[in-house]
Structure 1
Amino acid sequence: MTDLTNTVLAYKLLQSGTAIQQERQWLDRLQNRDWKDPKVRRRYESGISVIVASYLSVGTVIETLRSLEEQSLDHSKFEVIVVCNGPDDGTEKAIHDFAEEFPDFNLRVFGSDVSNAGNARNIGISLAKYEYITFIDADDQVEPHFLENSFSLASEDAVVISPIINCSESGRDENNALNTKISERSGTSVPLKEVPWVLGFNACKLISVYQLMKFKYSTKLRSGEDLVFFANLLSTSDLKVVFSEVLSDSAYLRTLSPDSVSRQPESFDFNVKQRVDCIFELRRIAVPEVNLAARQQLENAQLGFVKRYLDGHPEEAEDLENYLGSLGFLDFPWGTVNRGKAHDLVISYCFSPFSDTSAVVAEKAIAERQKYVDVISNDMSKVRRKDQSSSFLSARWIEDRIVINSAPSFAGWASISQFAEEALKRAESLSEEKSYRSLYSRALWVGSHVAAALYKRRNPHVVWTAEFSDPLRFGVDGQKRPGGLVHNNVSKSLFDVVEAHHYEVGEVETLFDLVEISTFILADEVIFTNQNQMDYMLSHYEPSFRHMVQEKSVVRPHPTPTKSSYFAVESNYNLSNSVVNIGYFGSFYTNRGLGDLFTALINCRAEERSQVMLHIFCNSVEEAKKKVDQWNLNDVVKINPYLPYMEFLNATTKFDVLLVNDISRNAGLSINPFLPSKLSDYRGSGARIWGLIDDGSPLSQQELDYSSAVGDSLGALKIISSVVEEHMDRPH
């Protein structure tokens, strides 16, 4: 538009939401087509569309427009699109007066009620008619040859970068950090992937509209939307950056004011939350492998803000963890933020991202201990599926993760020894830099304790805490676990420990004997999950040995996840509000209490049965469905596969009652030493807990909302009746 009347008319039309909306819809339809097809590619004129997002800029925008009106580039070769966003502070009249002063200036003005610079720039891109675009802030200016010089270097596969001079009350600063980097590359052309830092700002760029029209500025980000927008250019592998030569009067003049983004006061909101938002969006950009390192550099720059802030405010790390949970940002790079903090070591043979109860409990233990750690684990991909989400549980406390590539084995001494020796090498290497103060290991996978024992022997000053999830030497049937020993350097080292302490421990027949005994001797602290477990495991030893272990033992139940963990991943599993929903997560065995529950459901009164739904999540879905068919319970029992751990946590919050059961103990076990780890997960769900218990078991000693004995179907029936009655009494 070239005259005042049309300029103001366009502005008024947009405010009424008619003509411009229709034009934008038409342009959006064009943009959604396949531009690789030359028959549908929209034609843009040769020249530059200058886009100015204006927000409450009555005091500055005219100087911006004046610097554009003074450009040496032929005025027929560029247009200026001003998009006023938010309330009008007099900018409309100021532009009206400027247009009247320069009636031949190619100025188009639009408005939006939405106060958002990203949205304003999206509008500008959609309305551009020239084949190249540059952005100028409404409080900045450009020198007279800025557009002409940039246009002379333009091409569809290039990002042209011009010099940038900071302007403030102190004067002009040509030696600012950004311009120094630009000047060092003056007159050169390099692949974009080599200089991704040029994507971190709106200013001093000229880019083909064909590149920019593929993307949109985020309207949700409160800062960093320019970085994320331009980072989308990394999705194309062959773009280059052309750095303009330093020529007279061709720079971008950036105004620095007290409220500039670069001068924001330090705060959790700006330095952490807003930076995390940017990283979250960057992760969503699909880039070719060749550009992954470039995207990582952009992430690292944002992470630098987060790390510096949390180094000075460590007490706010929990707030970050909670915020990540609210976003569902499960793979946040905590290791970078935690750089230099780990002075404690964890050896967990099976660890995230592998799906295994032992891995999950180890993660919860790390979170409960609240020490920054390095973790050494084994590659379990041959025997366990991956569940990347579970890493969220402990990531806040981990600096380095070291994965040993040895053949996974529960009872193969050669493979366990290989892991232990390699883990020792890596731990020794790390400890040269970090001087570990403590060591934590956890087993049922014995490789954890074997590697820890080797490290403890080399580093006796390090305090070793060894946790046993279950009895090691004896299985759930009360019989000794089979596990042949191979005589090698590792077994010799552990036998030396046993022999040096002269305890009467009986004959060491299996690897489980050797690992349990040597761990009891070497560890500074031994953790059991319940008193029954400690009593049972130590009952196999003579009194002096038993007393030695008891003196350094602690009973600690499995930890409960943090509250944010229950809401980090939303489960889409649907539950009816019209019935009592009972959830069971675990292996499907009708002889472990579920048979009692099935019997109870069959014997329910019809009105009670119609008010109950049992949801079973297990690994043997088809077998479970057959059993439900045989019992004729399809109307009240639903069978589902296991859920990923973090989704499981969220699902538990949706149930009315959660069911946990004891093992079916046989005559080989004098006492029940097993406490189901699921109980600790249920604790944080907010649901009521129903235990199917073995008399005297650790579970029977816990605080439960409901309990019935394994084998007592009448007791289960009474609980169902009670639960239904409570449900009927609650308002819905």
Structure 2
Amino acid sequence: MELDSTMGERSHRDAIAPGLTVVVTAVEAASPILADLRRQTLDPALIETILVLAGRLDPDSWTAHAGTDGAPGLRVLHAPNADQRHAEELGLAAATRQFVVFATGVDSVGERFLAALWEAAGPDRVAAAPITPADGPDIPYGKCLPTALARASDRPADATGAALVLAALQVEHGLPVREVAGVDAAYAPATSRTSFADSVVEPVRIIELIQAYGGTDRPRRDAVARMADHEGTRIGEYLLRHPDDRDKVVALLDASTAADMPYAAVNRVPAAALAVAFAFPPYTETSAVVAAKRLRESGEVYDVISNRMQGVRQVDPTTVRIAGPFTARTAELPTPTYFAPWSSMEEFARRGLAVIREWRTGLGPYRTVYSRAHFAASHVLAAAYKLTSPATFWRAEFSDPLSRDVNGAERGERVGRTAFARALLKRLRAQGLPMPRGRNAFAWCEHLAYVLADELVFTNAYQLDYMLGYCPDPRTVALVRRKAVIRPQPTLPDAFYRMVAWPYPLAADRVHIGYFGNFYANRGIDDVLRAMAEADDAQSRRIVLHVFTKNPDEVARRARALDLADRVHANAYLPYLAFLNLAVRLDCLLVNDADTVQTHGAVNPYLPSKWADYAGSGRPVWGLVSPGSALSEQSLMYRSPLGDAAAARAVLTRIAAAGK
């Protein structure tokens, strides 16, 4: 036995010899595995044992203990500042044999453990001993790895430990695993290793590591996906045992740098809740983001049915993180991505019902269903399901009025006289519920939710009053009043504002205002542009307006016309998490009401969806408001009437002074 105080520094200079290096990490007093190694049937000349004493263990007492057990080729490394993972790395660095096997001091192995691994080992594969009991934890121990490859693995500096070495080899080199058989060759963990660190922290770190390798070839991508799903399942099994730790697990998932967390594997229990959101992440659509935030807000795990918007909407993978920890199975239906035609709504509903039947075979109906309509098809599918499963609690949300446009005019295409539509009417009539009037598809969607949903969600009271104001049936109005709740759109936790560090330059000697949304030269933020053009004091001229919109060229043209090209920066929309990150860096955020005075009178039913995101940024917000609107009632640092450039100029002066 040799006590090696160099902790493996010499190993890279030594030639690798035939045989196995067994790295035994000891973080507590007992080490039965040393006696097991002495009884191995493999030729002792082929065995090197490296015992790494981590933490506060006394090396002198362990030296005596190790000498008594007489493990083959024993060397001892003392690592007082190392934890388990770093101790494993030190052992790997010190290895001098062709293959390395990781073990912990408290575990046990069969007498043919090393012989079986030696027979199965190879430079292009991983040999793996069976774990006993058979349903034991999936651990990185009992695996035999090629030493040279393990040491040369191109891992991040902090990706340490046996589990991460194994994961790196399997992704980096595509090494297959060869299983050995026999109880006498088995590895027996002393404990179940079901702690939060073993079952959640380690899998998350492995997912981050393997995804960091990336790669464009299909086999490598498939290998990464399979391994990520496997690690996600480990997290899901932990949640099955510790459901009260979900908030703790979600916080870790939110903090992870993994770009594609396998949420479906994490949430492997059949969901009791269904979400129907025609627009849902990863597609760039405001309604998709709000629906995802609602799922997170509820804290439940949902199956999700949405529309495949590919080719119609851009993809923003960062938005998946919003509801990912609360999403189990997902189905993107390849139905037409249309807003108004009844035929597309009906096809979405029919296909969605077929998916639900498949998902719920043997499980019974969902306990709850949530649907959100900006896209009305969401409510059509939810209503059809509610009619077949009346015990399911249906929560239906309206983002804006459906059957009235922003000018107050009726909109909506005609409902076809189809078998599906007739079946809906027949079921409504059988339940004694009010029937829809006319054949307007959007009016039908509103009506179906009004009479069938158990809870109706509106974002503000003006929206509720406006929509009921054009409802033609007093009985339905009374029914809605009993079920309606006012629930502003959710604000995400602070962590989401820092998940993405967006590299957008902001000059330190300027005051920066940000506007995110549509731009129209004849209304809205044009008040601000005119006020900036008319400002003649030096302070106000330090202000820079950053506009992020779908039509930046129009903004740039208007800025040039007002001689503001150097003070108005026009940009395309940002990915959602990039927008949140930039929001916290700006000096002020600008939001404007829709101009509805001429079309809706004193009632403005629209509360801008971005308000909820602004509210979570902690930054001052300037609202261009119409009198008595929902936006005007929010906690705005600055406000000016919509269309009043003089009032906007006064606000600019205040913002400039505050941003000194």
Bin for the TM-score computed over the shorter chain: 0.7 to 0.9
Distance in 2, matches of 1:578 and 1:718, equals 21
Distance in 2, matches of 1:343 and 1:58, equals 46
The aligned residue for residue 453 of structure 1 is: 383
Q: 1:144 to 1:654 in 2, by over 3 A?
A: same
Q: Secondary structure at the match of 1:590?
A: coil
Count of residues paired in the alignment: 650
Q: Secondary structure at the match of 1:386?
A: coil
Distance in 1, matches of 2:65 and 2:418, equals 89
Q: What is the CA deviation profile of residues 262-303 of structure 1, one whole-angstrom value per residue up to 9, with x for unaligned ones? A: 256x76555544554444445545563564575256315522
TM-score normalized by the length of structure 2: 0.84
The aligned residue for residue 150 of structure 2 is: 212
Q: Secondary structure at the match of 1:607?
A: coil
Alignment of 1:210-609 (within 5 A): 210-215=148-153, 220=158, 225-235=161-171, 236-237=173-174, 239-241=176-178, 243=180, 256=190, 262=191, 268=196, 271-284=199-212, 286=214, 288=220, 291=223, 295=227, 298-300=230-232, 302-311=234-243, 313=244, 316-329=245-258, 331-340=260-269, 342-431=271-360, 433-496=363-426, 508-542=438-472, 544-545=474-475, 546-609=477-540
Q: Secondary structure at the match of 1:288?
A: helix
The aligned residue for residue 18 of structure 2 is: 47
Q: Secondary structure at the match of 2:544?
A: strand
Q: Secondary structure at the match of 2:294?
A: helix
- In the TM superposition, residue 711 of structure 1 has moved relative to its aligned partner by 1.5
The RMSD of aligned alpha carbons is: 4.0
- In the TM superposition, residue 446 of structure 1 has moved relative to its aligned partner by 1.2
- The gaps in structure 2 that reach 5 residues or longer are none
**Residue 131 of structure 1 pairs with residue 101 of structure 2:** no
Q: Secondary structure at the match of 2:623?
A: strand
Q: Secondary structure at the match of 1:479?
A: coil
Alignment of 1:619-630 (within 5 A): 619-630=550-561
**Residue 119 of structure 1 pairs with residue 86 of structure 2:** yes
TM-score normalized by the length of structure 1: 0.77
Larger Cα-atom Rg? 1
- In the TM superposition, residue 328 of structure 1 has moved relative to its aligned partner by 4.2
2:129·2:187 contact (CA, 8 Å) conserved in 1? no
1:221·1:274 contact (CA, 8 Å) conserved in 2? no
Distance in 1, matches of 2:649 and 2:235, equals 55
Q: 1:129 to 1:354 in 2, by over 3 A?
A: same
1:279·1:302 contact (CA, 8 Å) conserved in 2? no
1:348·1:441 contact (CA, 8 Å) conserved in 2? yes
**Residue 159 of structure 1 pairs with residue 141 of structure 2:** no
- In the TM superposition, residue 554 of structure 1 has moved relative to its aligned partner by 2.8
- In the TM superposition, residue 388 of structure 1 has moved relative to its aligned partner by 2.3
- In the TM superposition, residue 450 of structure 1 has moved relative to its aligned partner by 1.4
1:303 is matched by which residue type in structure 2?
A: I
Question: Which of 115, 128, 133 is the aligned partner of 1:177?
Answer: 133
- In the TM superposition, residue 210 of structure 1 has moved relative to its aligned partner by 4.2
Q: Secondary structure at the match of 1:601?
A: helix
Alignment of 1:623-702 (within 5 A): 623-665=554-596, 667-670=598-601, 671-702=603-634
Distance in 1, matches of 2:267 and 2:11, equals 50
- In the TM superposition, residue 557 of structure 1 has moved relative to its aligned partner by 2.2
The aligned residue for residue 34 of structure 1 is: none
- In the TM superposition, residue 347 of structure 1 has moved relative to its aligned partner by 1.7
Q: What is the CA deviation profile of residues 402-437 of structure 1, one whole-angstrom value per residue up to 9, with x for unaligned ones? A: 332212111222222111112123334445514323
Q: What is the CA deviation profile of residues 468-513 of structure 1, one whole-angstrom value per residue up to 9, with x for unaligned ones? A: 211111211222224243321233344557878796976x253223
- In the TM superposition, residue 626 of structure 1 has moved relative to its aligned partner by 3.0
2:232·2:266 contact (CA, 8 Å) conserved in 1? no
2:102·2:162 contact (CA, 8 Å) conserved in 1? no
Q: Secondary structure at the match of 2:370?
A: strand
Q: Secondary structure at the match of 2:613?
A: helix
1:467 is matched by which residue type in structure 2?
A: E
Distance in 2, matches of 1:149 and 1:466, equals 60
Q: Secondary structure at the match of 2:518?
A: coil
1:498·1:517 contact (CA, 8 Å) conserved in 2? no
| Percent identical | 28
Alignment of 1:35-74 (within 5 A): 46-52=17-23, 55=26, 64=34, 67=37, 73=43
Question: Which range is displaced more, 492-501 or 655-664?
Answer: 492-501
1:418 is matched by which residue type in structure 2?
A: E
The aligned residue for residue 169 of structure 1 is: none
Distance in 2, matches of 1:644 and 1:390, equals 8
Distance in 2, matches of 1:483 and 1:686, equals 42
2:41·2:115 contact (CA, 8 Å) conserved in 1? yes
Q: What is the CA deviation profile of residues 228-261 of structure 1, one whole-angstrom value per residue up to 9, with x for unaligned ones? A: 32133432446351526677xxx578684xxxxx
Q: 1:344 to 1:512 in 2, by over 3 A?
A: same
The aligned residue for residue 188 of structure 1 is: none
Distance in 1, matches of 2:619 and 2:247, equals 24
Q: Secondary structure at the match of 2:353?
A: helix
Distance in 2, matches of 1:674 and 1:340, equals 38
- In the TM superposition, residue 124 of structure 1 has moved relative to its aligned partner by 4.3
2:318·2:576 contact (CA, 8 Å) conserved in 1? yes
